[in-house]
Amino acid sequence: MKFSTLEEFGIRCLVQIARAGPSGALTIPEISEREGLSEANVAKVLRLLRQEGFVVASRGKTGGYALTRPAEEIRVGEVIHALGGKLYDDEFCERHSGGEEVCRHEGACGIQALWEEVQDAIDRVLNRKTIADLAQTPLIRREDLLGGRRS
């Protein structure tokens, strides 16, 4: 299983904006440069984030994107959910018309139960992390990792 690029890049962009400070903002070129993505691609992701209400854009020469809420209040799960949909939705079982009645709507499908369990496990992890948690990196420097022992 894997995340879509929209989901991943969405998180990355929000984290970068969060690092600009509580009332700071970043432009598309800035985010592009810092995250190593093309400007066009960043623009596409940010458009979705704006439509979903996570960021606001100001136009013009001094424009940029800013968070609509404090980074501490944006749960990662929200973003993933808004950008990527669910693993198991209500239509899921409808798409299978297998010959066995038991795997349709009889409520006794092991696959269905397992999928929901996985979805819950993922959501639990994603919902207890916020963008702020990801934004405040420990900022370990290479020197600390290598030569921290002596000298």
Partner DNA sequence: CTGTAACTTGACTTTTCCGTACAGTTTGAG
Partner DNA sequence: CTCAAACTGTACGGAAAAGTCAAGTTACAG
Handedness of CA 35, 38, 39, 45 (dihedral sign): negative
Task: Give me the torsion for CA of 111, 114, 119, 121, rounded to 10°.
Answer: -170
Residue 132 in the binding site for ligand FES (CB under 6 A): no
The structure tokens 């894997």 sit at 2
Q: How far is the CB of 56 from DNA (least distance, A)?
A: 8
Q: How far is the CB of 64 from its own copies (least distance, A)?
A: 17
User: Of the candidates 82, 93, 122, 126, which one interacts with ligand FES according to CB under 6 A?
Assistant: 93
Give the H/E segment covering residue 55. strand 55-58
Residue 97 in the binding site for its own copies (CB under 8 A): yes
- Binding-residue total with ligand FES (CB under 6 A): 8
Interface residues with ligand FES (CB under 6 A) are: 92-93, 96, 103-104, 109, 111-112
